[in-house]
């Protein structure tokens, strides 16, 4: 049996040769990039790559190594493409994303729309971001809010996108993909749910509780103690408070904010019934222009790709290669394509950064669809 240290020396020698050959290959890839830049050819040639992988597999002598060698060369080819994208960026051949920089989106005459009624958490988020003097008005649904922005009746819509307890608001994700509106900012609101009833109501009277589905989930632990209560979903927490006020039935209560109780003349039967003390909802500020502020440091994109092994890995590898941190990924089903999904991804950076442009350029050429949802 060979000595372990001797085997390791032989491996070191093989590794030296691999590094030398790899550097030679990448140098040739630079020549390929220069040719493609001059001729306008695309970096990714799927036919050439498939042919190359098939031929390489035939060179492998041991059957058990064939899959591993194929995977190795798939990675080498991916690194080659990323090098070519980087060289294209140096030549100024970067994607035109058509976003422009602005100092701020806050101005005296700004018109802001939110879903719900006065006292909703979205209303609070609107005032928190734009100030107490902002011209805010409400509509019935998130879709209505997107329509107001699309039509120009509102400059911005304030929409919930994620709660720290209940997770993503998937309907808003879908609306961002449906409408040609863009995320321009975000703000977070600490959500403290209270149980609200009429002035003469007592907890022992309760038969029915109204609230938004997300609020019901956020208070699930408290509601488990009262399984006899019927839970009914409403469009908004503040809408549920208004409903209790309008119905005048002391057996009906709402889960909403203390502020909503004051607005609608309700009594707070119990405060802070959400199970997490730091229960927070993140709201997006959405406008119809492709703009970003100088403070912007996050980008949201949506990608669709072939439903094949390794395609998502290839997309994410562009972020690692360019030193970009991915902070979040969500999947959403693609309409009329059963069990196929699109991915909504958040990354750190600014749309004008060279590394970001390089990554987005590479991704755009390797997926069937890339949409930039906003830089904020």
Which distant-in-sequence residues (6+ apart) come within 8 Å of 70 by Cβ?
53, 56, 57
Strands 252-256 and 135-139: unpaired
**H/E element, 350:** none
Any catalytic annotation for residue 281?
yes
**Dihedral pair phi/psi, residue 282, rounded to 5°:** -95, 130
CA distance linking residue 298 with residue 82, whole number of Å: 22
Closest CA to 184 of 302, 288, 281: 288
The backbone region for 40, taken as left when phi is positive above 0, alpha when psi lies in -120 to 50, beta otherwise, is left
Nearest 10 degrees: Cα torsion 250, 253, 257, 259: -20
Q: Which of 283, 293, 319, 343 is catalytic?
A: 283
**Dihedral pair phi/psi, residue 70, rounded to 5°:** -60, -45
Q: Which of 130, 281, 319, 343 is catalytic?
A: 281
Any catalytic annotation for residue 283?
yes
Q: Which residues are catalytic?
A: 281, 283
């Amino acid at each position: 049996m060979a000595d372990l240290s001797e085997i390791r020396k032989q491996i070191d020698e093989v590794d030296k040769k691999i590094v030398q050959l790899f550097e030679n290959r990448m140098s040739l890839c630079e020549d390929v990039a220069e040719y493609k830049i001059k001729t306008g050819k695309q970096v990714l040639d799927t036919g050439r790559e498939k042919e190359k992988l098939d031929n390489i597999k035939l060179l492998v002598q041991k059957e058990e190594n064939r899959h591993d060698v194929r995977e190795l060369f798939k990675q080498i080819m991916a690194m080659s493409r990323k090098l070519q994208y980087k060289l294209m960026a140096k030549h100024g051949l970067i994607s035109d994303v058509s976003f422009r920089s602005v100092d701020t989106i806050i101005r005296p005459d700004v018109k802001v729309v939110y879903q719900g009624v006065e006292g909703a958490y979205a209303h609070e988020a609107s005032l928190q971001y734009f100030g107490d003097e902002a011209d805010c008005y409400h509509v019935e649904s998130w879709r209505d809010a997107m329509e107001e922005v699309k039509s120009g009746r509102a400059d911005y819509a304030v929409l919930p996108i994620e709660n720290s307890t209940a997770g993503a608001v998937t309907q808003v994700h879908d609306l961002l993909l449906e409408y040609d509106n863009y995320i321009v900012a975000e703000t977070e609101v600490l959500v403290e749910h209270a149980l609200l009833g009429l002035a003469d109501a007592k907890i022992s009277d309760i038969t029915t509780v109204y609230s938004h589905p997300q609020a019901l989930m956020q208070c699930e632990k408290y509601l488990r103690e009262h399984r006899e209560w019927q839970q009914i979903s409403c469009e908004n927490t503040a809408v549920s408070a208004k409903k209790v006020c309008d119905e005048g039935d002391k057996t009906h209560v709402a889960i909403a904010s203390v502020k909503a109780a004051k607005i609608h003349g309700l009594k707070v039967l119990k405060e802070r019934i959400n199970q997490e003390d730091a229960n927070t909802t993140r709201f997006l500020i959405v406008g119809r222009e492709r703009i970003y502020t100088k403070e912007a440091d996050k980008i949201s994109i949506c990608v669709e790709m072939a439903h094949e092994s390794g395609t998502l890995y290839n997309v994410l590898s562009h972020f690692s290669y360019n030193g970009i941190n991915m902070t979040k990924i969500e999947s959403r089903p693609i309409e009329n394509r059963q069990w196929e999904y699109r991915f909504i991804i958040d990354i750190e950076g600014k749309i004008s950064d060279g590394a970001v442009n390089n990554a987005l350029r590479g991704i755009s050429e390797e997926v069937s669809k890339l949409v930039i949802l906003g830089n904020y």
